[in-house]
Amino acid sequence: MAWPLLQAMWLVTSDVDGQSGEAATRTRSALDRALTRVREQCGRAPVEIRTLQSDVRAATDVPLGAAGVRALEKAFARWGSAIAAKQSPLSGASAAIHRCERFGERVRPGYTLWWDHAPEGRRWWVQIEIENRTDARYWVDLSGTMAVTGLTYPRVGGPRDEHGGRLISWGGSSADSMYARPSTTSTRKVGLTEFVFTTPDGLVYDVRPEVFIRHDGVTCSLPVPRLN
């Protein structure tokens, strides 16, 4: 449960509105899968985990936000106490979210999407901008996805979406990172390559960048709104 819950917390802190329907769905689904495994291994589900499942479903009937995370934290604490666990998977989650929210007031990521004409079509690029209002330098891990129609370079496979676009993703490499320098705005192009090339009528859309910054003992995933 720990990894799905951590991903859900990142979805909450990275959402511009602080409310994430995807986080609620992931949390509920992860617990349902865990309950299924318990039943398969034990032949039945103990009352403690069934009570936890009921509490989680109540908290995730709506998009998950800070209040919902506090409710989940209490539910997991009750479950941990009932089974004499040393620590629940969500211990300190609401405090971590609060620290990330305050951090995001001083370190603000965003992205811009640009294109210009190329010899055989268009050249596109996505640029991350991080306004750092602190006097500290931060290491930033980058990831994300974007959809592209009329793609000519880079050559990528995979399924097309309903608009005929190819999905391009980045992240997981040492190259997918940057420094947020103190008291200034730092920038970096992202993607499999710095530029994406399309036909003249090609488009880049549904851009979803993610940034992860370690701060005050917590890895914060902050909102990355479009700036242009």
Q: Which of 19-28, 129-138, 203-212 has the lowest mean pLDDT?
A: 19-28
User: Number of C-alpha atoms within 13 angstroms, CB side, residue 209?
Assistant: 29
Give the chain's domains with CATH numbers. Answer: 2-101 (no CATH), 108-222 (2.60.40)
Give the model's pLDDT for residue 86.
63
Give the model's pLDDT for residue 87.
63
pLDDT tens digits, residue range 78-132?
877 777 766 666 667 778 888 888 899 999 999 999 999 998 899 999 999 999 9
pLDDT tens digits, residue range 6-56?
777 788 878 777 778 888 888 888 888 878 887 777 777 778 878 888 888
Which is it for strands 138-153 and 196-215: parallel, antiparallel or unpaired?
antiparallel
Q: Which of 9-13, 169-173, 220-224 has the lowest mean pLDDT?
A: 9-13
d(CA 28, CA 22): 10
Cβ 9 vs Cβ 89: under 8 Å: no
pLDDT confidence of 178, banded at 50, 70, 90? very high
pLDDT confidence of 2, banded at 50, 70, 90? low
Is 60 exceeded by the pLDDT of residue 1? no
Q: Which of 63-67, 139-143, 145-149, 187-191 has the lowest mean pLDDT?
A: 63-67
Start-end of H helices in the chain:
2-14, 21-42, 47-59, 66-82, 93-104
Tokens 């998950």, residue located: 64
Both structure tokens of 201: 């009528």
Look up the pTM and report it: 0.77
Per the DSSP assignment, residues forming a β-bridge with 197 are 123, 153
